[in-house]
Chains A and B, each alone.
Chain A
């Protein structure tokens, strides 16, 4: 109930008072915070604390007890200076970069936000949150600091990272200073791979062109060691140079690269994308060269992570 009212109120405020909420709109990086866009309010504890200070003040005045008045005023003055410290925590903080490794829809996206605070003292206890997810970090002076936050993903394609709140209750927990960061950044979300999809359509060699059958007799190349590889295939010399296990791979040229054809999958659109995604992943993991034919593009043949990433990207961005 309350949340709904608040949201309605915020929407109204944003519509009618752009000046008030201007900093809630998307902005290009870097976003630099300055006092005009850092807001401050007492915390709930701060409100109770204020009542206590008022009681101290009135009590001291009433009994004309000057040492008590001095103490009350000292505490009030410290609290007021604390407000400025709270705002200064956020002031001049700069959001310089936002990035993430793409994930498949449905998986949480680990968003990395790069901050910079300039010179001065360290800024502990900065909290970055978006809805219920929050992360706490400390910025060291003159050093780039990173905050990571997990965002849920639901659908493929470009996703705006949305609006973040950077806030702090430092130093005394009496006040709460915050600013809204809405970077104009979109991250890519790959389509969700189909669960229980049919295996990769290795297809007919005559139609599909050059294909390799593993294992074979001809030298094919080196690849990362996977569990189950026979030890006699390990390429010891090459492994020693690279400090990881490589195995010699032999394959027979059998056919052309696998064709992952949009037209060949008879499903509705999203399911089709989902199945192709699964196949691309599978091909990537099995190091099988493949081609991907989409309604208005054809990629490949190719293999490896980079090619697969291109394919996944195309799939994600399909209209």
Chain B
């Protein structure tokens, strides 16, 4: 009833799990992925020892070890990452109790589901192609494991080849149907239930806290954060600051946002009209609520709001790619008369700690007599004179600001922004830290700008009497090229990868263009785009009846097409030139009025045709005789190929005159 799995089929299940694991590496915590790899190796080793269903003595400890590592590496088995990792772990544990073909089929089905889970973490084109291939592999396993009663004489290799060929054929034939249904299938305008994770769990992109040393994780991350298409003139590189979370509170170690200004409105804002730009932002999913408009956003799209400190947040986390239109002014004056409490919040410091920095700031304050401009200048000059910009700074002690200012003197934007803000507050100049991105690189083939996570940046804003909040970027004092050239790799050759210049960059741009088309055509295809597309082909009426009817009709056509495509090779076919030529001969005679009956042999048919077409009778009889002789006669096995080919040529050349 439920046959045991044999060695070769089990090897296929192992191979499927390997493919599956490779496809999930992009999100899985490294420790956990490593563990799953180890499970795979262990299962392989056990299978070599001819143990396919491991005893409970092995399975139970493995289960607990997997669960322990799961909690250790993802935090909890609930939520997106934990839940997905749990499913993956169960699939790999299943290897240890796969004893029958049914188990193999269950694994293949679960693997299909697990492929889909991978799309929760990334929706790229290559990933999609890869998972479609894994799905194909699942069908191969299904095919091979459904052969319960297949006779043992079939070699495993032939069986695999047969499964692979059939699955590939079916998959190819399924493409038209898939595409038709994809376009026509009714989309939900709003989800039935929420996302299986909350916004605070997100991993990529900028966080709402800042501690020197944190952003460096992003610099290794070359993935796009968002893409921007400008309408009209593009602001100069040194003004391309993309504003994200604004950090107000400092606890001695870490800067964080403050709830004080969450509900407040943007204060007085003035700007020259020639600095206004309109542009479209295409955000990659960040799982957070933050947009990064060009500093400073004047108009924000629907579904978002702008806070008192200029940060634009969306109401729902950005879990899929999202597109929005913004208007910004890249030169502006903000909050000349700040709201009550803003100045106070921008001056707050912890009671104690970083004494040397405090003393330095107090010294500046007294020297410059409280003149904010002069104090800022003193600090920037100090940075410019004594400090180095590096992406690999030495670690800091507990007193981060003192340690940085007086010992290590090397760091990147977070270090400079954090210590600068501390010094300013200590000297009585209201300061806040802004995080976001700076720069971006131009993709000429697609005419858009791409801002990568490696472009993450942190800078400060000081409040000056009569001028409001003014952006001061202390990093620029140390590494001006970082700001002016607009991208990290352009400024620091050590941060550049081989692929970010020359022909490598060109190809990368091209690929990014394809990725953008993929986004537009596939990932962003939603109810609205569907309606637009169908309206273009004249389907104004988008009632669900019309959509369902269209789906049935076109889906049916697609299905028939697929069935025809995939079964085509299974219907009779011949490649024998002689037989093909004879069929053509028969077709010619049929056109002349003598059709061959199904049960009629060639000789009877030839005689009948000769009677009805007396003018061509000698040729018909002669050709028929020779054909019968070649195909059925003693000489049918003869290797006289030239004779057969000549006969085939003559059969093809036959014309009957009525």
* CB within 8 Å of B: which A40-80 residues: 45, 48-49, 52, 55-56, 58-78, 80
- CB proximity of B194 to chain A, nearest CB, Å: 9
A13 at the interface (CB under 8 A from B): no
Q: Which residue of B lies closest to A43 (CB)?
A: B146
Judge whether B497 is part of the interface by a CB distance below 8 angstroms. Answer: no
* Contact status B119-A68, CB under 8 Å: yes
- Minimum CB–CB distance from A12 to chain B (whole Å) comes to 29
A52-B109, A71-B119, A120-B571 known; A171 vs B166 contact (CB < 8 Å): yes
Q: Would you call A210 an interface residue if the criterion is a C-beta within 8 Å of the partner chain's C-beta atoms?
A: no
Query: Which stretch in B185-193, B339-347, B395-403, B592-600 binds the other chain?
Result: B185-193
Q: Which of B131, B173, B181 lies in contact with A71, CB distance below 8 A?
A: B131
Cβ of B557 to closest chain A Cβ, rounded Å: 13
Known: A78-B171, A78-B174, A172-B146. A66 touches B525 (CB 8 A): yes
In the complex, are the beta carbons of A74 and B132 less than 8 A apart? yes
User: When each residue 112-139 of chain B gets 1 if its CB lies under 8 Å from chain A and 0 otherwise, what string results?
Assistant: 1101100110010001100110010001
Contacting A70 at CB < 8 Å: which of B143, B178, B569? B178
A69 pairs with B147, CB closer than 8 A: no
Does any Cβ of A come within 8 Å of B41's Cβ?
no
Q: Are B320 and A77 in contact (CB under 8 A)?
A: no
Q: Which of A65, A74, A85 contacts B178 (CB 8 A)?
A: A74
Chain A: minimal CB distance from B282 (Å):
15
B628 within 8 A of A: no
Asked, given contacts A77-B174, A78-B174, A172-B139, whether A67 binds B562 with beta carbons under 8 Å apart, the answer is: no
Task: Give every chain A residue within 8 A of B569 (Cβ-Cβ).
Answer: 121
B152 to chain A, nearest CB (A): 11
**Which partner residue on chain B sits nearest A61 by CB separation?**
B188
Q: How far is the CA of A238 from the CA of B350 in the complex (A)?
A: 120
Fill in one digit per residue for B151-182: 1 if any A CB lies within 8 Å of its CB, else 0.
10010000000110011001101110110011
> How long is the Cα–Cα vector from A243 to B191 in the complex, in angstroms?
84
Judge if B570 is at the interface, Cβ distance under 8 Å.
yes
Which B residues touch A100, using CB under 8 A? none
For residue B204, CB closer than 8 A to chain A, the reply is no
Q: Does B522 count as interface, using CB distance less than 8 angstroms?
A: yes
B319 interface residue per 8 A CB criterion = yes
B516 within 8 A of A: no
**B146 contacts across to A, CB distance below 8 A:** 125, 169-174
Q: Which residue of A lies closest to B136 (CB)?
A: A78
Q: Would you give the 0/1 interface string for B548-564, flagging 1 where the beta carbon is closer than 8 Å to chain A? A: 00000000001100110
Question: What's the least CB distance linking B592 to chain A, in Å?
Answer: 27
The answer to whether B147 and A174 touch across the interface, beta carbons within 8 angstroms, is no
Q: Which residues of A contact B522 (CB under 8 A)?
A: 66-67, 70
Q: How far is the CA of A75 from the CA of B137 in the complex (A)?
A: 12
A240 CB within 8 Å of chain B? no
A26: which B residues are within 8 A, CB to CB?
Answer: none
**Bound Cα distance A49, B185 (Å):** 21
Task: Tell me whether B120 and A125 are in contact (CB under 8 A).
Answer: no
> CA–CA, A280 to B221, complex, Å?
93
**8 A Cβ contacts from A147-188 to B:** 169-174
Question: How many angstroms from the CA of A170 to the CA of B166 in the assembled complex?
Answer: 11
What is the interface of chain B mostly: helix, strand, loop, or mixed? helix
- Identity of the chain B residue whose Cβ is nearest the Cβ of A72 in the assembled complex: B116
- In the assembly, what is the distance between CA of A319 and CA of B177, in Å? 63
* B566 within 8 Å of A (CB atoms): yes
> Taking the complex as formed, is B195 at the interface, i.e. its CB lies under 8 A from any CB of chain A?
yes
Whether, in the assembled complex, B102 has its beta carbon less than 8 Å from a beta carbon of chain A, the answer is yes
Nearest CB of chain A from residue B202's CB, rounded to whole Å: 15
Q: B195 is contacted by which of A63, A75, A170 (Cβ under 8 Å)?
A: A63
**Bound-complex Cα distance A52 to B113 (A):** 7
Is B61's beta carbon under 8 Å from chain A?
A: no
A169 to B101 Cα, complex, angstroms: 13
Given that A62-B192, A77-B181 are contacting pairs, would A56 and B112 also be in contact in the complex, using a CB cutoff of 8 Å? yes
A73 touches B192 (CB 8 A): no
Q: Mark B297-341, 1 if CB is under 8 A from A, else 0.
A: 000000000000000000000011000000000000000000000
| CB interface residues, A 63-114, toward B, < 8 Å | 63-78, 80-82, 84-85, 88
A118 near B147 (CB under 8 angstroms)?
A: no
**A73 x B181 contact (CB < 8 A):** yes
Collect the chain B residues with CB atoms within 8 Å of residue A134's CB.
Answer: 149
A124 interfacial contact with B, CB 8 Å: yes
- Asked if B143 and A171 make an inter-chain contact with CB atoms under 8 angstroms apart, the answer reads yes
| Contacts known (A85-B567, A124-B150); A62 close to B193, Cβ less than 8 A | yes
**B572 interface residue per 8 A CB criterion:** yes
Does any Cβ of A come within 8 Å of B142's Cβ? Answer: yes
Given contacts A71-B119, A171-B166, contact A125 B193 (CB under 8 A): no
Q: How many residues of B contact A (CB 8 A)?
A: 65
Contacts of B288 in A (CB 8 A): none
Bound state CA distance, A174 and B147, in angstroms? 12
Q: Would you call A318 an interface residue if the criterion is a C-beta within 8 Å of the partner chain's C-beta atoms?
A: no
How far does the alpha carbon of A88 sit from the alpha carbon of B562 in the complex, in Å? 14
A63-B195, A75-B135, A77-B562 known; A69 vs B185 contact (CB < 8 Å): yes
- Residues 234-250 of B, flagged 1 when their CB comes within 8 A of A and 0 if not, give 00000000000000000
Give the complex CA separation of A69 and B572 in angstroms.
36
Contact, CB under 8 Å: B177 / A63: no
Query: Is the CB–CB distance between A64 and B559 below 8 Å?
Result: no
- The complex places the Cα of A76 from the Cα of B572 at a distance, in Å, of 28
Q: Which residues of B contact A69 (CB under 8 A)?
A: 182, 185
Interface check A245, CB cutoff 8 A = no
Contacts of B170 in A (CB 8 A): 78, 81-82, 85, 171
Interface residues of B in 66-98 (CB under 8 A from A): none
Give the docked Cα–Cα distance between A134 and B148 (Å).
12
Interface string of B436-476 (1 = CB under 8 A from A): 00000000000000000000000000000000000000000
Q: List A residues 16-57 near B (Cβ within 8 Å).
A: 45, 48-49, 52, 55-56
Report whether B174 and A74 are in contact in the complex, using a CB–CB cutoff of 8 Å. yes
B123 A74 Cβ-Cβ under 8 A: no
* Contact of B512 with A by CB under 8 A: no
Instruction: Using A52-B112, A60-B116, A65-B119 as known contacts, say yes or no to A80 and B177 having CB atoms under 8 A apart.
Output: yes
**B358 at interface (Cβ–Cβ under 8 A)?**
no
**Who on chain A is nearest to B523 by CB?**
A66
Instruction: Point out the residues of chain B lying under 8 angstroms from A137, CB to CB.
Output: 151
Chain A residues lying within 8 Å of B166, measured Cβ to Cβ, are 85, 171
Residue among B106, B171, B526 making CB contact with A74, cutoff 8 Å:
B171
B182 touches A73 (CB 8 A): yes
Q: Which residue of A lies closest to B567 (CB)?
A: A88
Q: A85-B566, A172-B143, A174-B142 are in contact. Are A119 and B177 (CB under 8 A)?
A: no
Verify B145–A173 contact, CB threshold 8 A: yes
Cα–Cα, bound, A76→B170 (Å): 11
Q: How far is the CA of A49 from the CA of B145 in the complex (A)?
A: 14
Q: Is B52 an interface residue (CB 8 A)?
A: no
Are B116 and A68 in touch, CB under 8 angstroms?
Answer: yes
Min CB distance A217 to B, Å, is 54
CB contacts (< 8 Å) of B365 on chain A: these are none
How far is the CB of A30 from the nearest CB of chain B, in Å? 14
Using a CB–CB cutoff of 8 Å, the interface residues on chain A facing chain B are 45, 48-49, 52, 55-56, 58-78, 80-82, 84-85, 88, 118-121, 124-125, 127, 134, 136-138, 169-174
18 more A-B contacts (CB under 8 A) besides A67-B123, A77-B177, A125-B146? Answer: A48-B109, A66-B123, A68-B120, A70-B128, A71-B115, A71-B135, A77-B174, A77-B181, A78-B171, A81-B559, A81-B566, A119-B572, A120-B571, A121-B570, A124-B150, A125-B149, A172-B142, A173-B143
Interface residues, chain B, with chain A CB atoms under 8 Å away = 102, 105-106, 109, 112-113, 115-116, 119-120, 123, 127-128, 131-132, 135, 139, 142-143, 145-151, 154, 162-163, 166-167, 170-171, 173-175, 177-178, 181-182, 185, 187-188, 191-193, 195, 319-320, 522-526, 558-559, 562-563, 566-567, 569-573
7 sample A-B contacts, Cβ–Cβ < 8 Å, listed by A number: A49-B109, A65-B119, A66-B182, A70-B128, A81-B559, A172-B139, A172-B146
Q: Which 8 pairs, one residue from A and one from B, show the smallest C-beta to C-beta distance?
A: A173-B146, A119-B572, A77-B174, A136-B149, A68-B119, A77-B177, A67-B128, A121-B570
